[in-house]
Copies of this chain bind each other. A is one copy, B any other.
Amino acid sequence: MAELDDVLVNKFTWKIPNALALVGSRDGERWNAMTTSWIMQLSMEPVLIGVGVDNTSITHELISGGGSFTVNLWSADDTRPFVKFSKPAVLERDGDTITLNGREVEAAPSGAPVFTEAIAWADCVVRQAIDFGTHTLYAGEVVALRIGDDDARAAAMSDTRMKYGGVKRH
């Protein structure tokens, strides 16, 4: 039995083959999207999808305020946005066109942003929020979705050199 030290915990959690997506959020005029690898389905009836969001992030603030989020799956052929969306996104408006970090978004039925380039997205209304310590799990009921490109393979964490999870860095 190995001791439970931080290095081992990081090694283990980084080995979990995580998903990867851009999670859209909005509270009024504030829009954001953030790279997230803590995503999984939580229930089949109702269909609930959960995202784990850092309690200190803007996305946490906007989902708490706005009451919804979106899950945008991205093509494995274009993983560049994931690094870019690891920081708060830059919102720009040009007439009716709204972009986050230069990528076009529109409001899903819940109001939260979805990307026109996403290969698929789901719009989720928060039914429960559970604070587990450093992160809050938002359990969202899927209220709308779109498959943009049914042939594309959705990017996973393993398509990038990114790592996320493990122990809190102090």
Could you tell me which residues of chain A, from 123 to 139, have a CB within 8 Å of some CB in chain B? 128, 130, 132-135, 137, 139
Asked whether, in the complex, the Cβ of B17 is within 8 Å of the Cβ of A132, the reply is: no
Asked, given contacts A16-B73, A73-B15, whether A132 binds B52 with beta carbons under 8 Å apart, the answer is no
Chain A interface residue number, banded: 35 or more
Asked if A147 and B12 make an inter-chain contact with CB atoms under 8 angstroms apart, the answer reads yes
Please state the number of chain copies in the assembly. 2
Stretch at the interface among A26-34, A81-89, A90-98, A161-169: A161-169
Q: Which of A1-45 contact B (CB under 8 A)?
A: 1-2, 4, 8-9, 11-13, 15-21, 38-45
In the complex, the chain B residue whose C-beta lies closest to that of A169 is B44
Contact at B2–A44, with CB atoms within 8 Å? no
| Cα(A167)–Cα(B147), bound, Å | 16
B18 touches A40 (CB 8 A): yes
Q: Give 12 A-B contacts (CB < 8 Å), ordered by A residue.
A: A1-B109, A4-B142, A12-B73, A15-B73, A16-B21, A16-B40, A16-B49, A17-B17, A17-B20, A18-B19, A42-B137, A45-B168
